[in-house]
Amino acid sequence: MQVIVNYFLSKFRLLTSTYCVGTATASEWPHDIYASSRISDRKSIFLAHASTLPNATSFPSFLAYLTSLPTLKRATHCMYAYRTSDLLASQPVLGQNDGGESGSGDRLARLLELAGCENTVVVVSRWYGGVHLGSDRWRLISSVANEALSLGGFKRPKPQSEGKKGPANPGKRHK
């Protein structure tokens, strides 16, 4: 099973290294897809999509469906990360791709981990406008990805720390 997943992922890594294009089209994705608002900065446009991903083997179908959408066919960069639970292994199954934006796949994977997302995929598309953004692109990538994950309710709420003393929770004073 893992060999099949690696084969498909290697094919999609080649296809999405520069352009957000899939080889096959899926007629329908069975889960809801949540889109962020478009952010435009210096002629570049960023847009993120997040969805439930039941297992890593369904990722190629999701990417094929998403990249078959007319609005995403002309995206210059397509970066993604996913995190799924594997019932046989104790560790989550992770996948990511930079899509031509060096380091963006790692950034998205880290975002999924910090947000506590499980069985989730996030794809960020960028339409390059001809102006280099420098480090501002990281802020924009994270911003649209966070928005899509929040809209879908994929982010796990942070636990309230009980018994923590400090300015926010002074605790009881004993005399």
Question: The domain spanning residue 86 has which CATH number?
Answer: 3.30.230.30
The 8-class DSSP code of residue 28 comes to: -
* pTM attached to this predicted model: 0.73
Report CA-CA distances (Å) from 82 to 3, 38, 70: 18, 21, 23
List of the chain residues with pLDDT < 70: 1-27, 89, 158-175
Q: What is the pLDDT of residue 146?
A: 92
* Boundaries of domain holding 117: 2-122+136-152
Find out whether 16 and 60 touch, Cβ atoms under 8 Å. Answer: no
Angle in degrees, 0-180, between the axes of helices 59-67 and 2-15, rounded to the nearest 10: 20
Q: What is the pLDDT of residue 175?
A: 53
Q: What is the pLDDT of residue 46?
A: 92
Location of structure tokens 């997040």? 50
Location of structure tokens 């046989």? 88
Tell me the HSE value of 37 on the side-chain side, using a 13 A CA sphere.
3
Is residue 130 situated within a structural domain? Answer: no
Is residue 40 situated within a structural domain? Answer: yes
Which residues, 6 or more positions from 39, have their beta carbon under 8 angstroms from its beta carbon? 45, 46, 47, 140, 143, 144
Q: What is the pLDDT of residue 169?
A: 56
Find out whether 26 and 61 touch, Cβ atoms under 8 Å. Answer: yes
Nearest CA to 62 among 73, 75, 49, 74? 49
Q: Is 121 helix (H, G, I), strand (E, B) or coil?
A: strand
Q: How many domains does the chain have?
A: 1
Q: What is the pLDDT of residue 3?
A: 40
Q: Using the Cα atoms of residue 157, residue 37, residue 69 and residue 94 in order, give the sign of their dihedral.
A: negative
Is residue 171 situated within a structural domain? Answer: no
Is residue 26 situated within a structural domain? Answer: yes
Is residue 83 situated within a structural domain? Answer: yes
Single-letter residue type at 86: D
